[in-house]
Structure 1
């Protein structure tokens, strides 16, 4: 009983931990720097539906406020620091930095910059001070020369935007123009994680359905971004880009085995990320294999098939025997023992044969004299290869 209770307690604890949602701090306006006297609103953004949730704010690790938002109405340099919020679930957000300045000009950037964002940097002068021209630098090189524009626009940023930016601005004070400068560093965040392929079911058998899911985690602050998915099998595209992150096969075959990848991109940009390769081996269906084996055995034991094989074998053997006999006949000129068939005829050796007509005549004479043969014929070979045909008549 004690073990059961302890197990239930552990499961409930794990369930509670799994329900924890990490909140995110956002700024409005979305600038990482402000001047003294300006106002800014900090919000604890969390994907949590509980109406009775409570929120707490911390600056540099110390509690400062309770509530979903924290408003700084007239900022002072003392408001600079790292801010975090915490929800009733017990999770605390990552710290974010706010800097409050009391100078002529600051280079403002968004609190977070994600892949595919259109980045805006603003070279901002202190409120109430007139300004003229501005120049922008990236890693020490001019990227926007002196001009009236106080903002720098960079479309569809990527990791190549990870750089240090600087601006110089002409600001007027007491009839004189000064050229204050400021710098900021940009670190582009991942819009979505590297995709991974998930196979369902875990093991695929021939004839079964198969589903591939391209899993990807989109940043919580960019949930409105539209992603598209494509699938590849052994390097060949099997499903072009679409909003579906699944590829399905209703009846998997052995040729569906191989390497699979998925590619994810945003709808309005060409930023793409590819998953690692997943190798899938489709197993042979046991029932199908047994059926194929039984079918093979039935075919091999079919009477018609066996008879045909037997006839083919006998025919082949006869043909081979005939060929061998012809070969021997041509090579050795086979001569039967005439004395066995003609007991009363003297056998004349081949070396003493006369002309064909004389020999034929003699044999005919002997055969007629003994008067013992029926109509028959015998073919002999002469030494020169010519044939000698002997016709005989036997009276029974």
Structure 2
């Protein structure tokens, strides 16, 4: 309640119920004044005496004035007629939530409410209605009335909304402001200690607020936005025991009843050595000599693998084939049949080394394809009995070293060709010319008619299965004599 004039006051003395009211001034009035007493806004007594006695109830309101100056009354006095009552004097709530500041107020019954509002600051000599403060539009709602309810609702709370809130009302005869309600808006904050660990260590999660929420019955815990099963606790502390790589993720917490307002996420990083190390072969399927093949080592680790090492089984012992290559791939640009064998890889980071299972790689030769060829020049020859002939060919092969070359005309009893050089019929009449790289020439002397046949070239390499026949071969026809036919022309 706020004074309306200075110099005239009502002093209350007496017992619990019966009170004596005295209308006093700061100085003695020179004229003999007449005092006018009012009860609940109505005149009840006019008397030269400045005293007035009555049964003083909680709801009654008294004031006095000097006759002739009724427009300058003393401030009204009462027990409980001017009051603002808050359900909670201090409130702690979460950012983003909605809060109702419950409030009721009383005033002399003969007064009418002219204005009721909430404020947090004074503007000069007056208060500043929150509904007119920039930033509060659509953010606050007065749920009260102009009788007794003064409840204020604030939605989508911000940290900046933390302040002391006061209710103020103005009546037809006076004005009054309640004491402040302390509103503290807090985040839910997840603290993680530590945030980076190695497998097997423990991690402590703590759910904190800057003020005490009332009441808190339980806390909820989340990983990657999903509730952690069976994790609700009555304590703000949650411990991850003996963490593994599967515990890596983003963690948050919330208080019961406000699960829609969780804390910001905190990321847990778990360091671990290479796991699930494996080798893959590309392309998949049959591996053919001369093709390009890539072995790839894959592994899951944190921090990432910093070195890969490749091994091949050599006569029962694995030996490194990485040389200077520390990457996840081992490439055979032109694979050989000698590359057939068992391989595995090791993946290493700063914590430990992981090894893959061994894989078997089988490199195959495909005859007549992929680099095998024999070319005859020419492919058909006709010559005379007793003469000499040269059969020539050039050849290619995919890899390795040529170990054997020969010519033949027939398959032996084992279905394998037989070298003409071992045939008695050709003894002393055959010569092989050329090298074992890319070409050869067969010279046959003193030809016989029985030498007429299809001649084929055979080559073998040092790789398993490395053998090839150039087919079709060269057709040789040997004729016996030359017949001369003449036609006699008669002279005319």
Greater helix fraction, Structure 1 or Structure 2: 1
Under a length normalisation based on structure 1, what TM-score does the superposition of the two structures give? 0.42
Greater strand fraction, Structure 1 or Structure 2: 2
Under a length normalisation based on structure 2, what TM-score does the superposition of the two structures give? 0.35
Q: Which has the greater radius of gyration?
A: 2
